Copies of this chain bind each other. A is one copy, B any other.
């Protein structure tokens, strides 16, 4: 008898696994109505088969043997939701080798080992869905690959890490410093016990690797992304940013400039009226500029059981549709590359800067600082000096016009050596201004 539905096996029964299972089970009828055939959750494999995830699974669905799932001839789609690099990669390759389509939410794995996975999938004629790997519920992968296919994407930038955005939002609203806010976020479950990936920008860089590849056709290049986290952001700089009309956000930015692609993750000052500036808390948002569409904004939850589960289920549905109508879609594994592209060096990027000097309030200090900046072709747009304390260090804050990163680095090195400057100069890059 010919099988009527499409069978799914999930490896990894954590938060997203539970969300995915809930949607597949609770919306079984809706999915069948929308697709025209049933999608059946056949197996979930996890070492922990005891913990209550708030889902009532049919008997026999939950097993502790991932290998059995990967080799189950009845399973059409393997959903990898265990996270980490190993053995997730091996499991996925094994599933692909067995002719199974794969859905994964594993951005770290794709950003670092994605090429091997897509290569194996192409060889075996199966699909790989990864909508849930970037920005949780926001369907940015599908949008970039399918909806914006008639565009040369000029830039893509976004808040794609909810934890760091939650921390920056709290710091902005309450004026509390970074480490206290991080502790609070950990207590509330918004930050993990080891928050390194989130607060150091690594998670954002993983996601940017995937987005930039799809947007521009640059090969996956996680290691070449300039990555700077939010640990050095202070309430003082948030306050000064606000006085200049800006908010500080951890942005992942990729831009095309001729054949050069610039990719960077760092705390960024954005004008308060920019669409992304008011994206607060754990929400994500992605701002895209395409040559046909102009600007687009996508906003939604970037993490969580049900939002990310929703993205996983959309991939399952797409692949299930293609299983029922054809021998295999070409969307999932065709990551077209443009061989002409190069990655721009960080030192060559041009942007506006916010600078906070700890300068002695003495005559001549400003002229020495601005002289060094001017000598490197950096011109000042505006300036604030707060709290005059003669002969003591006070913050001297400047916004510059667009300058080259290399020139700025050299100028700051020189300025920080001045005897009238105490302590390292703080600098932040600015996006979304006119200049």
User: Restricting to A287-341, which residues have a CB under 8 Å from any CB of B?
Assistant: 290-301, 306-307, 309-314, 317-318, 321-322, 324-331, 334, 336, 338
Q: How far is the CA of A292 from the CA of B312 in the complex (A)?
A: 11
Q: What residues of chain B lie closer than 8 Å to A313, measured between beta carbons?
A: 149-150, 292
Q: What residues of chain B lie closer than 8 Å to A71, measured between beta carbons?
A: none
CB distance from A207 to the nearest CB of B (A): 17
Given the known interface contacts A149-B34, A293-B137, A293-B300, the answer about A326 and B322 at a Cβ–Cβ threshold of 8 Å is: yes
Task: Indicate whether A223 reaches chain B with its CB closer than 8 angstroms.
Answer: no
Q: Check if B314 sits within 8 Å of A146, measured CB to CB.
A: yes
Q: Check if B317 sits within 8 Å of A146, measured CB to CB.
A: yes
Q: What residues of chain B lie closer than 8 Å to A290, measured between beta carbons?
A: 310
User: Restricting to A132-160, which residues have a CB under 8 Å from any CB of B?
Assistant: 137-139, 142-143, 145-152
CB distance from A28 to the nearest CB of B (A): 11
Given the known interface contacts A217-B33, A296-B137, A297-B297, the answer about A310 and B275 at a Cβ–Cβ threshold of 8 Å is: no
Task: Indicate whether A57 reaches chain B with its CB closer than 8 angstroms.
Answer: no
Given the known interface contacts A290-B310, A310-B293, the answer about A150 and B23 at a Cβ–Cβ threshold of 8 Å is: yes
Number of copies of this kind of chain in the complex: 2
Given the known interface contacts A131-B147, A149-B314, A318-B146, the answer about A306 and B292 at a Cβ–Cβ threshold of 8 Å is: yes
A positions within 8 Å CB-CB of B = 19, 23, 27, 30-31, 33-36, 131, 137-139, 142-143, 145-152, 217, 275, 290-301, 306-307, 309-314, 317-318, 321-322, 324-331, 334, 336, 338
A-B contact pairs, 21 of them (CB 8 A): A19-B292, A23-B292, A31-B149, A31-B150, A131-B147, A137-B294, A142-B142, A148-B314, A292-B306, A292-B309, A294-B306, A294-B307, A296-B298, A297-B297, A297-B298, A321-B330, A321-B331, A324-B330, A325-B326, A326-B326, A326-B327
Known A-B contacts: A292-B310, A293-B306, A297-B297. Give 15 more (CB < 8 A). Answer: A23-B292, A31-B150, A33-B217, A33-B338, A35-B334, A131-B147, A139-B146, A142-B143, A146-B317, A147-B314, A294-B301, A295-B300, A295-B301, A326-B326, A326-B327
